[in-house]
Amino acid sequence: MSRYSQEFIRAIPKTDLHVHLDGSLRLGSLLEMARERRVKLPSQTEEGLDELVFKSSYANLNEYLECFTWTLKVLQDAEGLERSAYELAKDNQAEGVRYLEVRFAPQLHMSSQLSFDAVVGAVDRGLRRARDEANRALPADEPAFDYGIIVCAMRSFTAEFSDYYHNLCRVLSYSSQAEIIRAASLELARAAVQLRKESNLQVVGFDLAGAEHGFPASAHEESYEYVHRNFMKKTVHAGEAYGPESIFQAIAKLHADRIGHGLHMFDAEMIYSGSVQDKRAYVENLVNYIAENRTTIEVCLTSNLQTSPSLRSVSDHSVREMLRNKLSLTFCTDNRLVSHTTVSRELSLALENFSIPPDALKDIIIYGFKRSFYYHPYAMKRKWVRQVIDYYERLERTYGVA
């Protein structure tokens, strides 16, 4: 029997630092919005969509990413974006999440009718409305709910991905694919920095998402250097479908403050560069560097099980090695709809499959708050985190967790 009850897991203050807006719609809302927008889905029922689209497992990451083809179709207007953001925040609040960082690629939603500012503004409105509703009802001695927005550059795309990308590819018709990807990434970086400076929209970070294999982070060095110079926090999808070299690129070339997934961090056999003579030493040095710098890993157990055929069970996940090496990590959902999961479920999976004593669990929960890209000044963050710790310790006593 687990030392942690489901009531305790649900009650404790939690974070989700890695959750995609377009992968976390309510299934019923997806169907309703599709009907309203006359979007034809593969099925008109929740059961049918689960069977045909949002499956329990996938052949690989690329097949997993195909699910977003359908959710994106209902997120091409401000109303759909605002509604989805609002519902995502409410679903998190219902399970005790007190801080949420929602990420998405604005350029997948942009068109001649919907600018970058309008896309981000719609998402911010939904999150802000949900936050304000929740905080009005919270007791004064409980930590407030808050949120941040992370914008994602895409490792790869085609003209068919969105109106924005169609127009970009047309304008840059004499450029190579790599040059077009680099241009889109840098434009996104400039837009994110400017919006953060000129508005109160809670843009807190920059990310790199999409198919990892064959699309190295090096194409995005200029955009990451730009946001780095402008004091914006950075996370990178790395080590999800590629090995330690991808994580090294994220840290060395993109100044990553956090790593999304990091699943294959310890897989020396996935190092392909001929310049690496001692692969084991490379992994050891990489892990030690991450540990020393407290670079937090955004762990997504269910998602990794779905996209990595070699991962046969949760207990085989590299989080075991992350824990053994005392890495800073936090458990996240990645995509609540596509992976049929919640933060509470991800925590339960970890606690059922790995040895995580109370002091280690407390550290993991608090890492989520401490390593968040919190929008407000650092002095406010310290006070907020202290309140989270006090509240968590009170719940430990209430539920007899020691």
Measured distance CA(301)–CA(321) in Å, rounded: 14
**Is 240 one of the catalytic residues?**
yes
Residue 155 CB neighbours (<10 A) = 21
Burial class (CB in 10 A: 0-12, 13-18, 19+), 377: exposed
| CB contact set of 181 (below 8 Å; sequence gap of 6+) | 154, 155, 156, 157, 215, 219, 220
Backbone CA torsion sign across 323, 305, 315, 301? positive
Kindly name the residue from 82, 240, 245, 346 that is annotated as catalytic.
240
167 closest CA partner among 180, 148, 154, 150: 180
Query: Rounded to the nearest 5°, which phi and psi values hold at 13?
Result: -70, 130
Coil, helix or strand at residue 148 = strand
| CB contact set of 386 (below 8 Å; sequence gap of 6+) | none
Helices (H), 73-220: 78-93, 116-137, 163-171, 177-198
Instruction: Give the active site residues.
Output: 240
